[in-house]
Amino acid sequence: MNSKVYFISDIHLQPDNTEEEEIKKRYLFEFFEKIQGEKCTLFIVGDLFDFWFEYKHVIPRHYFKTLRYLQKIVEAGCEVHIIVGNHDYWMGDFFPDEMGVQIHQYPLNIEISKKRFFITHGDGILKEDKGYRIMKKFLSSKFLTHLFGLLHPDLAFAIARKISSGSRSYTSRTPKMEMAIRNEIIEYSRARFKEGSQYIIMGHYHMPTVYTENGNTFLNLGDWMNYFTFGYFDGKELSLCYWKQKPRNTLL
Ligand SMILES: [Mn+2]
């Protein structure tokens, strides 16, 4: 493992060319260009794509540039890991076989520079996620995945787009709800600290957060939709960084 380690999550790349999407991609590709010269390790902690499906013969064209950047990073000598998110958990052997990117379907317990990291996308951990946990089991069944794979990709992506835009619950959260969620994910992290993890890295909640307790740190990575945030570990310290200036209207 390289000593410089970067973490990003929740980029939610979409298959269109809106101004918002163009800005997001510009920032993301600038970030990729910067890190590829650093012989680093990059962890993508879920939801790089707003939807990903792996076909036997087809690669979704609108993700081509992003895939090319990832491949360039790998070719430059960096290690790239993807922990799947709830929007892109249908990732398979395309990534390791064709791109040299390692895929993790489950949270990762890993040692980096003698520190114990727990890295998870973070979906399904809230008390209110009970129904979601059942649905996830159903959606990830082999049978359903196989059926979905038989749809024409244009149709499959159109369906996924509809479902995904309907499930964007974090855009309608009140400050009170945000506070409750933040408290719950911090509680979750404290339980992981008790198990011996020193650093917890999580995405999914789109809430840039740093919480430290007895020298252990929990990071929520924020996102690349509003915050353009990333985690950075230099071998000694873990920090939450903003690729662009911190937005003025944020209290976080
Ligand atoms: Mn997510």
Rounded distance from Cα 170 to ligand 1 centre (Å) = 10
For helices 64-75 and 19-36, what crossing angle results, to 10°?
10
- Give residues whose Cβ lies within 5 Å of ion ligand 1: 47, 85-86, 204
Dist. CA 165 → ligand 1 center (Å): 12
Q: Is residue 208 part of a domain?
A: yes
Q: What's the 203 CA to ligand 1 centre distance in angstroms?
A: 7
User: Does residue 67 lie in a domain region?
Assistant: yes
Decide if 137 is inside a domain.
yes
The CATH number of whichever domain residue 99 belongs to comes to 3.60.21.10
Strand order in the sheet with 41-44: 102-104, 79-83, 41-44, 5-8, 229-233, 238-242
Residue 90 belongs to some domain of the structure:
yes
Give the three-state DSSP class for 49.
Answer: strand
* Torsion (CA) 152, 153, 155, 158 in degrees, nearest 10: 170
CA of 92 from ligand 1 middle (Å) equals 18
Does 248 map to a domain? Answer: no
39 Ramachandran zone, left/alpha/beta (phi>0; psi -120 to 50): left
The two counts, helices (H) then strands (E), for the chain are 7, 11
In a domain, 249, yes or no: no
Q: How far is the CA of 79 from the centre of ligand 1 (A)?
A: 23
Spell out the per-residue pLDDT of the chain, length 252, in tens: 777 999 999 999 998 889 999 999 999 999 999 999 999 999 999 999 999 999 999 999 999 999 999 999 999 999 999 999 998 888 989 999 999 999 999 999 999 999 999 999 999 999 888 888 888 877 778 888 888 999 999 999 999 888 877 666 666 788 999 999 999 999 999 999 999 999 999 999 999 999 999 999 999 999 999 999 999 999 999 999 999 876 555 544
Q: How many domains does one find in the chain? A: 1
CA of 205 from ligand 1 middle (Å) equals 7
In a domain, 214, yes or no: yes
Domain contains 250: no
* Single-letter code of the amino acid located at 174: T
Q: Which residues contact 235 (CB under 8 A, 6 or more apart)?
A: 3, 4, 113
DSSP conformation letters of 74-109: HHTT-EEEEE--SSS----THIIIII--EEESS-EE
Q: In terms of residue numbers, what domain contains 104?
A: 5-242
What is the pTM assigned to this prediction? 0.93
